[in-house]
A and B are shown apart, each in its own frame.
Chain A
Amino acid sequence: MAIIRDMIPPFELFQPAGVDDAVRLMREHGDRGWVLAGGLDTFDWFKDRIKRPEAVIDLGGVDELKGIEVADDGGLEIGAMTSLTAVAENGDVRSGYPLLAEASGLVATPQIRNQGTLGGNIIQDTRCWYYRSGWPCYRAGGNICYAATPRSMNREHCIVGASRCVAVNPSDTAPALIALDAEMVVASTGGERTYAAEDFFIGPDIDIERMTVLEPGDLLTRIRLPAPWSGARWYFEKIRDRKAWDFSLVSVASMVNVEGGVIRDARIVVNGIAPYPVRATASEAAVRGQAPSDETGQAAGEIAVRGARALRHNDYKIALTRNLVKRAIRDAA
């Protein structure tokens, strides 16, 4: 049968008003259902006619999933359906978590941020172009990775964490949330579960067809941020080919706590280099007790890329990661 990559095939549409209804519909439709948040990842799949659900469950009307509230512990709770614009412009986010405001504000374009949601940005699928083109790779249930052969075009692919699949996580907000030690709240018919942001993303060694712990029937409902680190410095940088509507080649997010000219604690996360955002724990350990200098940064950068392995066309990511981790320490403000 011939391929055509335009026009969304028909589906049935449900617009639940609450999380309970949504979760019930998700269970009813199982793997023939599809949860629609902002839709910006979804419509690509639909228009390419690669993902063809019978039923689409549109969360646009679930108001309880929208909004940003200060929690009792001084932290923040952000509904998964809150738009990226709302996150980037929210006063509490900007004052307490400028790292997240910055990361959210660098996603794609204003229109996408107006419609795209924080939850959707977190759980979006990889942009490996072989996979997105509908090739039957490991991640699509096949038995080959087209991006890792000697002649593959893999400039955008991973240098860490490959396991058959070499795709990378494309999210801008994910590394920021891990650096901020956020928690992901997940609802399903079995009740509510909470994951540390760091544990929320999984590699192909755990499940090659998913990028997060979410299984069919699971719904990411809220993102919890702990009370802000007082006086912490932060850094976020996204290297991309175009300054709008582009995914990162490599991005870095860091939170650095400096007291008396010495780093007390640091959380450094790199994205775009692995199938999941990578927390540079060895680099974090190495910088504790050191001054946030160029040398400290350089050392942290070198440590971060230990064990990294380039594919045919992405060796630059090793240097880029090293340099961005350096900046994440040296230039944190």
Chain B
Amino acid sequence: MAENVIGTDISPPDLRAKITGQARYAEDFHAEGMVFAKLLLSPMPHARVLSVDTSAAERMEGVLGILRADELPVQAEGTREGALTDEPKYEGEPILAVAAVDETIAAAAVEAIRVELEPLPFVLDPLDSLREGGPDAHVGGNVAGRGELSSLKWPASVFEEAGADKLPMGEAPAEWTIGDIDAGFAEADVVVEETIVHQSVTHHPMEPRSCMAYWQNGKLFLHGSTQSTERTRGNVARMAGVEPDDVVFIGEYCGGGFGSKISGSPIMAVPAVLSRKIGRPVMLRITRYEENYIGRARAGFQGWAKIGFRADGRMTALDLYLVQDSGPYGASDFFTAGTVATASYQPENMRFRGVAILTNTPPRSAQRAPGGAQIVAMLEPLVDKAARELDVDRLEIRKLNAPDSDGWLGPQQGPFTSAYVREALDLGGELFGWEEKRQLSGQRNGTKVTGVGIGLSPFTAGSTGRDGLLVIRPDGKLHVHQGIGNLGTHSIADTARPAADVLDLSWDQVVIVWGDTSKHLPFSTVQAGSQTTHAHTRANHAAATAMVGLLQELAARELGGSPSSYRVADGRVFRAGNRAAGLSFGEAARVAMALGGKFSGGEYPEDLNDATKAAVAGLAGEGLIAAARDNYERAGAVYTWVATFAQVELDVETGEVEIIDLASATDCGTVMHPRSLAAQTNGGVFQGIGMAKGQRWVFDPKWGIPFTKRFYTARPPGILDVPPSPRFTAVDRADPHTPVGAKGIGEPPVGAGEAAYVCAVADAMGGLCLCRTPLTADMILAELEGRPRPYGLLDTHV
């Protein structure tokens, strides 16, 4: 019997390459005759290109070509983004690209181009755009809806009524209710109400989205950074104006995405089209400066919440209003936010209202728990505020409101597959020492005051219907073809573990095939929404189960007897009770190749997705091939919860906050890879803390230009900004609606870390919630010193 690999610590197979410098990311490739491209970025937040004079640039020696927006197969229109545009809608949006023999010349050529721009009105703050006569991010509108542009303005009375310190709440295009919100408040013993601002924030993965492209025999070869390999190919094909079959996408390593590179990036169109135009391989090195602009950002919220609680702490009413900053091309975070709130609190009555407004700031995309992290960080301090008023313990109030496996999700109030949230809260509380540490709340030592806080964060964590594809080759090894990308979560290897366990095969006999669409990759999930672990442990489980069936059938056919009399283990298929009477995997592969048909990819299940069918056809005859679609039943939404506990010390003379201790616990089903799970949880918690503590997104409001485009001004958290020994534990209880039991973990920790931090800081301030992120020292000190607040309550991008 091979040892089961689910639940063990095994380093990913690509790690050695990563730390010897052999792992090649997109910018590390070189093609014969490769040249370089540079972008000309818009200097204005909103403008129309009137004319472009490239003559001086084109005369420069070494300049090979210029690419304009109208040469792209996918062009910017309405709220659809193009890789280049003649109507830039944020400062830094690429207008054109220049190719030259080297970057020094390309940069000089960009400088030699004269662009005449007509400045157009721009808007940074959604509330400004909602005012009558206020500026719109697009000519003709401020709301995106399915590619259509529309306009939404609120009457002046809405703003007057709200005053300066409360969110104005006019007509909301999105609204849903559960129960009767008024009745819920009538039942409440305590009601808390706040206006809350959550900033937008850039993703800033370590690897900028550089990409290199060339054409060979009519096929496009593109090296790029992506979260999901197989699902990027079609996107690239569309951007290049060719069929997916004519694209080879290579992305074996991805230097982080966090939602900003789900299926590649729009900018990939530039080297793809430019290399075809000039007949040379083109490398587009994206710099950090450019990454700041085109690298995506989380949508910020200006929000308001009113929450009612019964004396025991049960939430009777949650009234939520969110104004979302959607950037120039839209975002859907706010929809998710309302749903996620239900997964934390199961409010007896709820009303959600939301409006998403376009602004002339860099484009938004999903960012690790889009909508979820924001809402958790916004609402958790209010729960604390109520707990304080009710004199209910803050851990208890969360346990009281959290769902169990009979809980419900969102406006449809559908079921969960499983929810062991109270267990996670208990485990986390125990690990952290909540009982003792809550006694430290408000204790002063010199100039430092202690605060403790809890953040409970749910997020979606699975999907179904993807395909698994396995090949046993004549060398006897099991090749697991993975269409998913290698974005740093170790999922290319970890989701293959069920295949090894089902086949009872030792892990060193497993080969992972990934990162290059010419390697016949199956249909996969986009790596977003923390789906991968759930979706692909299922898919590989299904394929491995199919493989067992094929091995049994093949053995029976070769050696006699019924298929069910054969067992599979240790790289052999053999008659039960007689290991000698059987075939090695290598022998089985050779037999399968001789037999063909369903044993070797000649036939395959009809319900496979098209991409998988093509992959199987491409592999036909190369071994014993099993492909299967994940048809396992799943009744309910797959959700993961993380509870993070934080202890901080606030220096009342400086406003500085130091995190003394952090502990997190999760319910993410069966633990696949303990060490990696802890690392991803801690990393997500740190990302959340970064947003809450100091990461910044600042614009000059007069000129519409961002200043936080360097790391030292954007301030993502460094190793000294988080405690050196965060702790972690998991409930490790299988989700009953998946054969493997595992759920995703990528996103839920972010809101947990962010909320735990915000709550701990409020606790150190005697329960005072500043109700905005980031909570920098200047804001805290101003409050402690009773000095004027540095920013208005609703100010955004500060």
Contacts and interface: CB of A to CB of B under 8 A. Distances in A.
Nearest to B779: A316
A316 B707 contact: no
Given A153-B798, A239-B777, A243-B721, A315 B787 contact: yes
Given A1-B114, A6-B289, A153 B700 contact: yes
B606 to A, nearest CB: 52
Contacts of A326: 653
Interface stretch (A20-28, A97-105, A244-252): A244-252
Interface in A61-76: none
Interface stretch (A114-122, A190-198, A283-291, A317-325): A317-325
Contacts of B790: 155, 313-316
B1 interface: no
A49 B104 CA distance: 11
A316 B782 contact: yes
Interface string A2-28: 111111011000000000000000000
Given A133-B707, A244-B720, A313-B791, A2 B115 contact: yes
Contacts of A139: none
Contacts of B776: 241
A315 B703 CA distance: 23
Contacts of A113: none
Nearest to B702: A151
Contacts of B720: 242-244
B111 interface: yes
B715 interface: yes
A241 B694 contact: yes
Interface in B110-126: 110-115
Interface in B642-660: 653-656
A316 B790 CA distance: 8
Contacts of B718: 242-245
B112 A242 contact: no
Given A6-B287, A153-B707, A313 B721 contact: no
Contacts of A239: 654, 656, 777
Contacts of B782: 315-316, 319
Contacts of A324: 653-654
Contacts of B717: 242
Contact of B787 (A6, A155, A319): A319
A230 B362 CA distance: 57
A189 interface: no
Interface in B710-735: 711-713, 715, 717-721
Most A-side CB within 10 Å, residue of B654, B776, B785, B791: B654
B702 A249 contact: no
Contacts of A149: 702
Contacts, number: 127
B712 A245 contact: yes
A1 B113 contact: yes
A242 B712 CA distance: 9
Interface in A105-158: 129-130, 133, 146, 149, 151-153, 155
Interface in B772-798: 776-779, 781-782, 785, 787-788, 790-791, 798
Contact of B43 (A3, A242, A314): A3
A264 B782 CA distance: 34
Contacts of A5: 287, 289
Given A2-B113, A316-B655, A129 B713 contact: yes
B778 A155 contact: yes
Interface string B668-707: 0000000000000000000000000010101111110101
A222 interface: no
A152 B782 CA distance: 19
Kindly name the residue among A241, A315, A320, A323 whose own CB sees the greatest number of chain B CB atoms within 10 A: A241
A205 to B, nearest CB: 25
A253 B67 CA distance: 54
Interface in A256-296: none
Given A6-B38, A7-B104, A129-B713, A318 B694 contact: no
A314 B789 CA distance: 10
A10 B655 CA distance: 45
A118 B701 CA distance: 37
Contacts of B779: 316
B778 A249 contact: yes
A10 B778 CA distance: 41
B188 interface: no
Contacts of A244: 718-721
A249 B104 contact: no
B705 to A, nearest CB: 8
A244 to B, nearest CB: 5
A318 B787 contact: yes
Given A3-B111, A153-B707, A244-B719, A315 B655 contact: no
Contacts of B788: 315
B66 to A, nearest CB: 12
A52 to B, nearest CB: 11
Interface string B197-232: 000000000000000000000000000000000000
A327 interface: yes
A319 B785 contact: yes
Nearest to B782: A316
A239 to B, nearest CB: 5
Given A146-B700, A155-B778, A242-B694, A7 B103 contact: yes
A315 B289 CA distance: 30
A211 B595 CA distance: 82
B111 A2 contact: yes
A155 B655 CA distance: 15
B40 interface: yes
A313 B289 CA distance: 25
Contacts of A133: 705, 707
B305 interface: no
A4 B110 contact: yes
19 contacts: A2-B43, A5-B289, A6-B289, A9-B107, A49-B107, A129-B707, A151-B702, A152-B700, A239-B777, A241-B694, A242-B694, A242-B718, A244-B719, A246-B712, A249-B778, A313-B798, A314-B778, A317-B778, A320-B655
Interface of A: 1-7, 9-10, 49, 129-130, 133, 146, 149, 151-153, 155, 239, 241-247, 249, 313-320, 323-324, 326-327
Given A10-B104, A241-B777, A243-B721, 20 more contacts: A1-B111, A1-B112, A1-B113, A2-B40, A2-B114, A4-B111, A9-B108, A49-B111, A129-B713, A133-B707, A152-B700, A241-B776, A242-B715, A242-B720, A244-B720, A244-B721, A316-B779, A316-B787, A318-B787, A319-B782
A-B CB proximity, top 4 nearest? A243-B720, A7-B107, A323-B653, A316-B778
